[in-house]
A and B are shown apart, each in its own frame.
Chain A
């Protein structure tokens, strides 16, 4: 752990240097053009100063993004329409609702698949094949259709998240519920254990590591689903809406700070699942 801090910091520093360099390079055209229009000559010092402080740069410098991020998260009131916390919460609530529904449905279907052979043979190939399909493409349609039925707001976005987080959980849980070895299943049989007893006392605990691994994937895709779900209807709130309005009006700094908010949310969500995993696994007696 300690050994990798220095290299990680080096890489992050290198990214920062590259970023500043790219910002100067990409924004300089605009500066030079403005100066030519005003009939001024610019020195390279001027270019450097101007490229790092433009209003709508092609690539905002890191400190601009950091300032905007600070301004819209901490300095603004949470209820403000310009607060990233507000937009982040809207996206996060759809993500969490969708993830909870998707994970629950996924676990239920996995239990059904493991216990019913007909279901296994019919559904499983489709569940696996569906992973190769760009499901996200149907997001706009779901939003619009549900809107026309009269359902709007949180639920349509959550449904997209549900759909996206559903399949990883099904595939992972089926694998997990099947992970007990034949010898252990045989032992349950010698105990004359019923199907539900085998499920609760053997299969379910054995599937826990698989559940958490697939939930990490699922929560990340659920967030992507919620963000993409905010794109098509011209939603006014949420991180996806921030991205879209930013791209309409050329507010690059706004896009980048929304992007960092999304990244922070994803990192926190995956980390929370990881913490849950560690707690559950240590309660179950796993020693690191």
Chain B
């Protein structure tokens, strides 16, 4: 009862603080833009903890954040091994292969108009399909270890990156291309100096979409068979044992890895496309 009351009280207080900050004179400052979402996130955790304790929700339905954190701390070696298996071996290597293949294909597609008109509709069609369904087939072909997970990731990231990069390569302005022609620039010079830089914002859009897909692909592919290590394996077996705190700890790892991966790509984007209007510092 006390826990429930405290949780609801904290919620009301946080709501009041947030609306004061958001409607107050400092709403536009950097500190306020950070503080409000942080308070909101904190509130969710406090309310979660309080309600789970106050209402006596059993741990097999929803463990409180504190026990998830405790499990996270004690199971660190296991989580690290799973992370390496799924993220470093499966997702990252698949991501690298898939993105490289997509870039090479995109340049070929851009070079030959016939390929563009043929491959692009097929590519954008496949990009909208539930590609994840191919996981059981690839697990059958490449075995249970990380190779099959990397293969799933390759297939998943290939088409979004391809479609975005082809669109980007077509985005250089006519007038800029004419300028390159007046310079007597060769095809490769034009590609390298004008069209690839112009395509970079589009490419990074595809790369950012692909980060999430890579992690999803690597995790879900493990539901179809894996060695006894890996995030997807741990999630499905811990669910079977009703060890939900372990599942949540694994989800925390997935969330951290996903946002870190996305963040690294976003930082690279800022470094590469610093000239683009969307990257200029907002005033």
Contacts and interface: CB of A to CB of B under 8 A. Distances in A.
Contact of B18 (A118, A126, A224, A270): A118
B62 A145 contact: yes
B27 interface: yes
A15 B121 CA distance: 14
B41 interface: yes
A112 interface: no
Given A8-B117, A121-B27, A126-B37, A267 B128 contact: yes
Contacts of A250: 140
Question: For the side of the interface on A, what is the size category?
Answer: 35 or more
A262 B130 contact: yes
A124 B22 CA distance: 13
Interface string A201-233: 000000000000000100010011001100110
A129 B259 contact: yes
Contact of A141 (B40, B117, B235): B235
A244 B223 CA distance: 9
B22 A8 contact: no
A244 B136 contact: yes
A262 B133 contact: yes
A136 interface: yes
B270 to A, nearest CB: 16
B133 A258 contact: yes
B134 interface: yes
B129 A141 contact: no
Contacts of A118: 15, 18-19, 21-23, 36
A15 B125 CA distance: 14
A128 to B, nearest CB: 10
A193 interface: no
B33 interface: yes
A140 B118 contact: no
B21 to A, nearest CB: 8
A132 interface: yes
Contact of A263 (B122, B129, B262): B129
A8 B121 contact: yes
A38 interface: no
B255 interface: yes
B49 interface: no
Interface stretch (B175-183, B195-203, B208-216, B274-282): B208-216
Contact of B117 (A3, A59, A216, A243): A3
B80 interface: no
Contacts of B1: none
Contacts of A58: 140-141
A122 interface: yes
A137 B211 contact: no
Give the residue among A3, A26, A140, A252 with the most B Cβ atoms within 10 A. A140
Interface in B101-158: 114-119, 121-122, 125, 128-130, 132-137, 139-141
4 smallest A-B Cβ distances: which pairs? Answer: A7-B118, A122-B40, A247-B136, A11-B118
Given A133-B259, A252-B140, A263-B130, 15 more contacts: A4-B117, A4-B118, A11-B118, A11-B122, A129-B259, A132-B261, A132-B263, A140-B223, A231-B223, A232-B236, A263-B133, A266-B128, A267-B128, A267-B129, A270-B128
